[in-house]
Structure 1
Amino acid sequence: MVFWVPILAWLAALAAALFSLLRGARPITLVAILDRLLRYILVFPVGLMGVWAFIGHVFFAEQAAASIGWAPSPFQYEVGMANLGIGVAGLIGGFLGSPGFRAAVGVVMLGFLGGAGVGHVVQVAETGNQAAGNAGPILYTDFLTPLAVLGLLLAQRLVGRPTTT
């Protein structure tokens, strides 16, 4: 399951953005595309993935640790709570967030998830840990997701903000 969740979250975000654009106003503008992509990346790969990681690390700690190739640890509770905060912030940012709020979510994600991604790379290099929760899609989305949020925010700033929600 660990392998598929990040992939499914990204596919859901792209499908929701496309569906929203296709049923929205015409013509479809670059501003609308950027808005929908950002909105649904915040909802799915940030929001729902964060809540999913919280549930895994807090309520299914042994399975979560095993999927990463680690032994269970009391620190998983802290990681889970950080994921919950990021997930809830992502959901708020996807539905209600201002550009400043969304930027703050992106910066926190870059610090936490980017740091986790570096940790995964180190584990692969130093120990050969190829577990799905260490070297699978999670590794890539730990970098991709915060960079996508911050990149879309920058693009929005450069081309203008949406006129509709």
Structure 2
Amino acid sequence: MVFWFPLLFWLAALVVAILMLARGPRPITLAAIVAQLLRWILVFPAGLMGLWAFSGHVFVPDQVAASIGWAPSPFQFEVGMANLGIGMAALIGAFLGSPGFRAAVGVMMLGFLGGAGVGHLIQIGETGNMAAGNAGPILYTDFATPLAVLGLLLIQRLLGPVPKA
């Protein structure tokens, strides 16, 4: 089941963004699409996924380690705390954050999650670790989520003032 969570959080972000656009003002502009996608990516794959990862690494570390193909480690607590920070910051950024705050969240996610993604690739290459928590959807979302946040922020900056979302 752990395998599906990254995909489900991304699906939720896309569905909610589409629903918000469908019930929003017309015409639907590129700026509105970007604003909704950014908000709901910050909520689901960044915010709630971060809180979910925190809870797993801190409260059920043996299960999480097994899903990644690792032995349990005291470092999982630290990974969990980093995920807690990312999750809380992403949720704040979704509703209260300025573009600069959101960019800081995106940079932190790129450093931590992107680094984790590189670690997954190293594990695959060096040990053949194809466990679902190492080579499954989390591998792709570790790169996709921060890149989506930063890419959408760049598009938003190029489009001009941020519409109310």
TM-score by length of 2: 0.99
Give yes or no for the alignment of 1:63 onto 2:69: no
SS state at 1:52 partner: helix
TM-score by length of 1: 0.99
Per the alignment, residue 43 of structure 1 pairs with 43
Per the alignment, residue 141 of structure 1 pairs with 141
Give CA-to-partner distance per residue, 1:56-98, whole Å, 9 cap, x none.
0000000000000000000000000000000000111111111
Per the alignment, residue 82 of structure 2 pairs with 82
Give CA-to-partner distance per residue, 1:93-124, whole Å, 9 cap, x none.
11111100000000000000000000000000
- The CA deviation at 1:163 is 2.8
CA distance in 1, matches of 2:111, 2:19: 31
Could you tell me the percent identity over the aligned residues? 76
Asked if the contact 2:39–2:95 (Cα under 8 Å) also holds between the matched residues in 1, the reply is yes
SS state at 1:70 partner: coil
C-alpha RMSD over aligned residues: 0.6
Give CA-to-partner distance per residue, 1:10-44, whole Å, 9 cap, x none.
00000000000000011101110000000000000
Structure 1 counterpart of 2:20, which letter? S
CA distance in 1, matches of 2:160, 2:2: 37
Structure 2 counterpart of 1:12, which letter? A
Unaligned runs of 5+ in 2: none
Per the alignment, residue 32 of structure 1 pairs with 32
Structure 2 counterpart of 1:131, which letter? A
Per the alignment, residue 95 of structure 2 pairs with 95
SS state at 1:25 partner: coil
SS state at 2:17 partner: helix
Asked if the contact 2:35–2:163 (Cα under 8 Å) also holds between the matched residues in 1, the reply is no
Unaligned runs of 5+ in 1: none
CA distance in 2, matches of 1:163, 1:118: 35
Structure 1 counterpart of 2:144, which letter? L
